Amino acid sequence: MSTYTLPISSNPAIMGGTPVFAGTRVPVQTFVEYLEAGDPLDEFLIDFPSVTREQAVAVLELAKELLLARAVA
């Protein structure tokens, strides 16, 4: 049985508890803002090299799951 590690963490000692990519100090909100602005994933990854492509995709997949779960009544 494998364990799933969340791609996001929140710790009061890191960025005041702001949700960040696990193992980094990069706020997930920053990623969302890049996407909202129409910036490509690759640009975000270049600007924040401590975030891996796998982490970014995992955050998108998690958001998709949560949105779809809420959409089902």
The H or E element containing residue 68 is helix 53-71
Whether the Cβ atoms of residue 21 and residue 28 lie closer than 8 Å to each other:
yes
CA distance 5 to 16: 21
Per-residue pLDDT at 70: 85
Per-residue pLDDT at 71: 81
The per-residue pLDDT for range 14-62, each reduced to its tens digit, is: 999 999 999 999 999 999 999 999 999 999 999 999 999 999 999 999 9
Domains and CATH numbers, the chain: 8-71 (1.10.10.10)
Query: Tokens in use for 53?
Result: 């492509």
